[in-house]
Structure 1
Amino acid sequence: MPGNADPLPQAGCQVAFAQPCAQDRTPGQERKGDTMPRGVKKADLPQKTCATCGKPFTWRKKWEKAWEEVRYCSDRCRAGKAAAKLPRP
């Protein structure tokens, strides 16, 4: 078809938006309202020690609501909790 224009730009933000796209911003350039950092550093997350293996483990998003009840670092340690309590012959 003559004059067939591609409706979507292929690379970069060619369409005029109110704010520049993320790929058009320089690394130090922030959007309006971006005054606070977006998250917590992994080193600053809380830690616990696994009740089975004794290794330290850090907070995970899926444990957000039940962090106080979390005692084991993995399903394997949780399943092995009974075996750890029994004396070996």
Structure 2
Amino acid sequence: MGKSFLVLAIREPHFDPVVIQPHLDYLADLRRQGRVQMAGGFSDKSGGAYVLLAANLNEAQALADADPLHRSGASRLTVFEWNV
């Protein structure tokens, strides 16, 4: 878990707010595991971002793919390796 990855979550036009709580619960679980450094929504409500700690891009992508925002199709998640 040595590298940082920025996950951008941009809401799709059909975004359903019901997915917000499962997403927050998922991030809280990752935070307890020491895998999320920070997270937050954009002030314009278009989406948000979070910073994951993972061994590599494949692992970070798998964590993002398990996010309820992605699984429900409510948001488009893009993962970038981030040299902080």
TM range (shorter): under 0.3
Q: TM-score, normalised by structure 1?
A: 0.26
Greater fraction helix: 2
Bigger relative contact order (CA 8 A; separation at least 6): 2
Greater fraction strand: 2
